[in-house]
Amino acid sequence: MAFWWALQHSFIPFIVEWRYVIWRFLFFLPGVLVFLLIYVRIRRLPPLILAHWAMDLMAAIFTLKF
């Protein structure tokens, strides 16, 4: 599951350069593994959903070009 989640996130933003996609995959993989370990420990999704939402919001803010 961690592999597919990291792979899914590595294509955001969609840039067709395989080195970039691989770098993004390797960047997201540890975070996804941490999320999975936290879920296994607490067995509750709402805190993880809120954390993911906050991370998505921050990523959107950081990728805006002014």
pLDDT tens for the chain, 66 residues: list them. Answer: 899 999 998 888 888 899 999 999 999 999 999 999 999 999 999 999 999 999 889 888 888 876
Q: Give pLDDT, residue 32.
A: 94
| E strand or H helix that includes residue 18 | helix 18-42
Please tell me whether the overall predicted TM-score, pTM, comes out greater than 0.75 for this model.
yes
* Cα–Cα distance for residue pair 44/22, rounded to 1 Å: 30
Q: Give pLDDT, residue 66.
A: 60
Domain ranges of the chain: 2-63
